[in-house]
Copies of this chain bind each other. A is one copy, B any other.
Amino acid sequence: MFLADCQARLAFDLISNTWTAVVVWSLRHGPRRPGDLRTEIGGISPKVLTETLRRLESNGLVARRSYAEAPPRVEYDLTDLGRTLLGPIGALGEWAFDHADEVLAAQDRRIRAPMPRSNG
């Protein structure tokens, strides 16, 4: 497996958007309405949520169902294909859970020591 290959690049293009992985993860337990997603995720604008869901739909990871009711009701659900992505996304999330502090510490060091060639 070569990540430089187009096939592997595909996976990264898929979830490289800021909210894509978060939205997929928010759908892991079943169908959700956009309003619920916005509440659960927080900080995502309606436009961006819609764009993200549409992109996921285009890639066959999410299915959209709308009900002819008033007020209108719409639900998004992971497809079988979308569910297969939960594993890798979960692995990445777990990694973050385990190593976030180390990354933050490294970032911190960069702030504190950005100029090693001082005159001392």
Contact = CB atoms under 8 A, between A and B. Distances in A.
Interface residues of A, number: 52
A89 interface: yes
Q: Report the copy number of this chain in the oligomer.
A: 2
Contacts of A94: 1, 88
A contact patch SS: helix
A15 interface: yes
A74 to B, nearest CB: 16
Interface string A14-28: 111110011001100
A22 B11 CA distance: 11
Contact of A16 (B18, B58, B103, B105): B18
Interface of A: 1-4, 7-18, 21-22, 25-26, 40-42, 58-61, 81, 84-85, 87-100, 102-107, 109-110
